Amino acid sequence: MAMRGTLLDAPAFGDRADRVRDPIRPRGSDSGSLDNALELLVRSGRSPVHATMMLVPQAWEKFPDVEPAVKAFYEYHQCVIEPWDGPAALAFSDGVTVAVSLDRNGLRPCRYKIRADGMVVAGSEVGIVDFDPRDVVETGKLGPGGVFLVDTAGKRIVRNMAAKREVATRRPYAKWIAQHMATLPPSDGAEPLVRSSDQLRATQLAFGYGHEDLRLVLEPMASTAAEVVWSMGDDAPLAVLSPNTPALYSFFRQRFAQVTNPPMDSLRESMVMSLRMHLGRRGSPLVEKPGYARMLRVEHPVLLPEEMTALRNFPQFPGATLDATYNARSRSEALEAALDSLCRRAEVAARKGARLLIISDRKVSADRAPIPALLALGAVRQHLVRTGLRARVGLVVEVGDAIEQHHMATLFGYGAEAVYPWLAMETVATLFSEAHGKADADPERPGPALAQSRYRAAVEKGLLKVLAKMGISTLSSYCGAQTFDALGLGADVIDRCFAGTASPMGGLSLRELSEDVLQRHRRAFTADGAPHATLPDHGRVRFRKEGEQHAWAPPTVLALQQSVGSARASRAGSNPDDAWRTVPGA
């Protein structure tokens, strides 16, 4: 809601509109925040049922039995406000109508009884009120996303779909969507272009790629269309303590659902989950206009190369590409100035009417070093929120250092609405074009275009698992939610790019992050221009003598076995000082 402050204006408020710019009370509970938003919508002129359907919609995307008018209602309102996700049984009234509704998953019970004299009782537990069973004419319960309404003025009871139909048919939402909403064209399966191996390897080094990323992450994902499964636990050092300058994503730890918000199963509950996103300029949630449906519907927010080309050249949605690189020969202090310049360019583009901002690090070269994409995204998003421009534009990230689902989840969690992992896509195309078409090629091995599609499918499966772990059903609800904790980032980084994220340890400054970027860049683009034969093996997921230190490394296990076998406790630890580098040790 913070990014919508400048949009919260409605005729009902008159000259008091400034008082509702920030409707959510700080430090309130989740329920209190929802109550604040619901009150705002009702006071702007909507009925309580209308407001509740906006904020807590049913799962409509994959259910064919939902009426078209109701689907159109939900999609239109998703263009102006994201769903509030999580288990909830809501009871609400404006003094005339009294209603109850459930969240899209039906994770809270709600039962009702109707007595012969017209009394209606609804609640989460059986036996709230003692009724003589002979007086009860109807007993029932609400299903997921259900609504049950009592109209005291009309003296009628309105059930679920009838109540939704009444709200959804008050405006021609389907007509507005047909006239204004656009859909990103589907992939045409064109063969991707691949650059020379020397150029590609230097670019991979500049973005921190290693041999493991290619052979143990990207290749299996593109072969099987599923995320790679490792053994449980992480015994590698914290990113801030690693000597191998890991990507910025490694400094963030995902939160997970606890206590009142249960995690979900992304496989068995896939019908209520959705990755659909809407890109473009957001309208006000307080008034309804046909033009607010002018959004770009994206079913797959992880884009393929041809989809990115179509997005960049979409005439109805003018975009501005923001170069997220800086002078590779500058001092480490230059990163802060580069972020300032990036934010200024984003503000100018938004004020000039751009509907999409594409933050791109694709111009990396021997002279240009990449700003870490997550850092660039966070800085731009925070700047646009502060200047009241965030709702005017959709944010797309064309990123070189994002490889797997945690990287993508972090980008979406900090405000990206679509991500194009251009270097990962190019790397996949290279891996699967080397043997494609040869006489001895594996017939089961996909070609480059199919491999890219499978890689995208693997990333999206992983994204759904990340959402499910947090108890969130839709990517639009997850987008910008910042459900992460930072480990090892300093206050200047957090305040500038990730405001609101907890970073209890403190850690690296912008200058130190810049030093890491420039160090990787110098390794990639050497002064003599000599090509690199191979990528380094960082040893992040398997032990390598020159790679990351692991708590359960072979020398440690060997020492433990020898200690047990010889009963010599003095030989039990190979290097106990390494223990503090890991998460449990810290």
For 92-154, give the secondary structure using H, E and C: EECCCEEEEEECCCCCCCCEEEEECCCCEEEECCCCCCCCCHHHEEEEEECCCCCEEEEECCC
Same domain, 352 and 442: yes
For residue 12, what pLDDT is reported? 62
| 301, pLDDT greater than 70 | yes
Same domain, 238 and 275: yes
How many Å is the maximal CA-CA distance in the chain?
93
Residue 1 inside a domain? The answer is: no
Residue 342: phi, psi to the nearest 5? -60, -45
Residue 110's closest CA among 124, 94, 98?
Answer: 124
Q: How far is CA 148 from the centre of its chain?
A: 32
For residue 352, what pLDDT is reported? 96
Over residues 104-113, mean pLDDT: 91
Q: Are 321 and 311 in contact (CB under 8 A)?
A: no
Over residues 24-37, mean pLDDT: 83
Percent of the chain with pLDDT over 70: 89
Residue 69's closest CA among 148, 161, 197, 159?
Answer: 161
Angstrom distance (rounded) from CA 1 to CA 481: 11
Instruction: Output the six-digit token pair for 128.
Output: 């709230």
Same domain, 88 and 149: yes
Over residues 565-580, mean pLDDT: 54
Residue 322 inside a domain? The answer is: yes
| 111 vs 234, more confident | 111
Ramachandran region of residue 224, left (φ > 0), alpha (ψ -120 to 50) or beta?
A: alpha
| 9, pLDDT greater than 80 | no
How far lies 92's CA from each of 39, 116, 146, 158, 428, in Å? 10, 23, 14, 15, 52
Least confidently predicted of 42-56, 190-204, 334-348: 190-204
Total domains present in the chain: 3
| 45 vs 403, more confident | 403
The whole model's pTM is what?
0.91
For residue 191, what pLDDT is reported? 47
| 375 vs 261, more confident | 375
Q: Which residues pair with 153 in a beta bridge?
A: none
Same domain, 162 and 239: no
Angstrom distance (rounded) from CA 100 to CA 268: 27
Instruction: Output the six-digit token pair for 151.
Output: 């109209």
Query: Could you read off the pLDDT of 90-107 as tens digits, one per residue?
Result: 999 999 999 999 999 998
Residue 543 inside a domain? The answer is: no
From 129, 151, 180, give the residue that closes a domain: 180
Same domain, 278 and 163: no
Find the CATH number of the domain harbouring 313. 3.20.20.70
Q: Are 473 and 465 in contact (CB under 8 A)?
A: no
Q: End-to-end distance of the chain based on CA atoms, in angstroms?
A: 36
For residue 20, what pLDDT is reported? 67
pLDDT class of 297 with cuts at 50, 70, 90 = very high
**Dihedral angle of Cα 215, 221, 224, 227, to the nearest 10 degrees:** 120
Instruction: Output the six-digit token pair for 56.
Output: 């807590």
**Dihedral angle of Cα 336, 340, 346, 347, to the nearest 10 degrees:** 150
For the chain, the average pLDDT equals: 88
Same domain, 139 and 261: no
Q: Are 300 and 460 in contact (CB under 8 A)?
A: yes
310 contact partners, CB below 8 Å, separation of at least 6: 184, 185
Residue 186 inside a domain? The answer is: no
Angstrom distance (rounded) from CA 300 to CA 290: 25
Same domain, 423 and 516: yes
For residue 548, what pLDDT is reported? 80
166 contact partners, CB below 8 Å, separation of at least 6: 49, 158
| 570, pLDDT greater than 60 | no
| 457, pLDDT greater than 50 | yes
pLDDT class of 344 with cuts at 50, 70, 90 = very high
Whole domain around residue 143: which residue ranges?
46-180
| 88, pLDDT greater than 60 | yes
Over residues 47-53, mean pLDDT: 95
| 384, pLDDT greater than 70 | yes
Residue 419's closest CA among 468, 465, 472, 475?
Answer: 475
Least confidently predicted of 145-154, 266-275, 394-403, 440-449: 440-449
| 360, pLDDT greater than 60 | yes
Residue 14 inside a domain? The answer is: no
Same domain, 337 and 476: yes
Residue 82 inside a domain? The answer is: yes
| 138, pLDDT greater than 60 | yes
Same domain, 143 and 176: yes
Angstrom distance (rounded) from CA 335 to CA 246: 18
For residue 27, what pLDDT is reported? 78
Sign, CA dihedral 315-316-318-324, equals negative
Residue 97 inside a domain? The answer is: yes
Angstrom distance (rounded) from CA 69 to CA 74: 9
Rg over alpha carbons for the chain, rounded to the nearest Å, is: 27
Same domain, 324 and 444: yes
For residue 25, what pLDDT is reported? 78
pLDDT class of 465 with cuts at 50, 70, 90 = very high
Q: Which residues pair with 264 in a beta bridge?
A: none
Instruction: Output the six-digit token pair for 210.
Output: 């290693």
Q: Are 221 and 455 in contact (CB under 8 A)?
A: yes
Least confidently predicted of 110-119, 223-232, 379-388, 534-543: 534-543
For residue 194, what pLDDT is reported? 55
Residue 302 inside a domain? The answer is: yes
From 180, 213, 236, give the residue that closes a domain: 180
Angstrom distance (rounded) from CA 23 to CA 354: 28
For residue 340, what pLDDT is reported? 97
| 208 vs 559, more confident | 208
Q: Collapsing DSSP states into helix, strand and coil, what is residue 199?
A: helix
Same domain, 140 and 83: yes
Least confidently predicted of 53-62, 133-142, 192-201, 455-464: 192-201
Same domain, 168 and 206: no
| 574, pLDDT greater than 80 | no
